[in-house]
Amino acid sequence: MQSPHTPAASRDALAPVLRDVRAVVFDTDGVITDSARVHAAAWKAAFDAYLRAHPPKDPERRRPFDVQDDYLRHVDGKSRLDGAAAFLAARGIDTSPETVRAVAADKERRFVRRLREHGVDAYPGTIRLVCALRRAGVPRAAASASRHAGELLVRAGVRDLFDVLVDGGEAARLGLAGKPQPDLFLEAVRRLGVPAGRAAVIEDALAGVEAGRRGGFALVIGVDRTAGDDSGARLLRHGADIVVHDLEELCGGGAPK
C-alpha cells in the first residue's frame, strides 16, 4: 500500500513488483556488499587446510572446497558453526563440536585478516535501489548471519542507508535460529514495524531465499551474481519469486514485473 505522503513519482522509480511493498530486508554478504567473495575465499582456505591435514578415506571426498558450488550448497547465508558443520558432514568428516569450532575459528581468523587488508565495496546497483526505496519512503533493513555485518556496511560507506541492522551478534543475543529458519528476517521487519506479509526479502543464498519463503514474506527476490548454469533455477526452487542478476534491474522501467 502506498503511503498518502509518498509522491507517486517516487514509487514510479521502483520496478512494479516493489511498488506495493511496505518494507525491504536486504541480506548483506553478496547482496549489499561484495564480501561474499571474501567469505568464500576464507572458507576455502580453512576447509582445504583441514582436508589436507585430515583427508577423508574416500578419495572423492578429498577434493578441494569449491568456492561456487560448495559455498552455495553448504555455507552461504549460514552462521559459521552451521556452515562448517554442513560442509564437514557432506565430506563425511567428524562433526564433533570441537572440530566444527576449530574449523569455524580458522575461517574467522582468515576472514578478518582479508577484510582488514582489502576491505569491501557495496554494489552500485544495490546502492541505487536502496536510495530509490528511501526516496519512496520504504523502510529498509540489513540482515546477516555474520557478526561483521556492521563493520562491513560502515567500511563500504552505506550503513546510514539502512534503518535497521540485525547481525549475527544480535541473533546470538536473542537466540534466533539460523537460516533457513526465518528468525533473522522476521526480527528485522518487526523492528521496522511492518508485517512479513507486506515486506520483501532480497537474498543471494539458497538458505536465505528458503528462509524468506518460510517467513511468509510477500516477495522473495533472489540475486544470482554467479552466472552459473543452474544457479538462478536453484534460487527459484528454494523459494525465490523472481531472480535478478543485479538489483539495478529493480529500479524504474524495464525491471521485473
Q: Which residues are the active-site residues?
A: 27, 29
- H helix or E strand, kind and range, residue 25: strand 23-27
Cα–Cα distance, 179 to 159 (Å, whole number): 23
Helices marked H in the chain: 8-12, 36-53, 69-70, 80-90, 97-118, 124-135, 149-156, 168-174, 183-192, 206-214, 231-238
Q: What is the grid cell recorded at 119?
A: 576491505
- H helix or E strand, kind and range, residue 219: strand 219-223
Instruction: For helices 97-118 and 80-90, give the axis angle rounded to 10 degrees.
Output: 120
Contact call for residues 13 and 135 (beta carbons, < 8 A): yes
Cα–Cα distance, 206 to 224 (Å, whole number): 10
Which residues does residue 122 pair with via DSSP β-bridges, in sequence order?
33
Which residues does residue 244 pair with via DSSP β-bridges, in sequence order?
223
Place of cell 517467513: 215
- H helix or E strand, kind and range, residue 141: strand 140-143
Question: What are the CA-CA distances from residue 243 to residues 32, 51, 232, 233, 256 (Å)?
Answer: 16, 34, 6, 8, 9
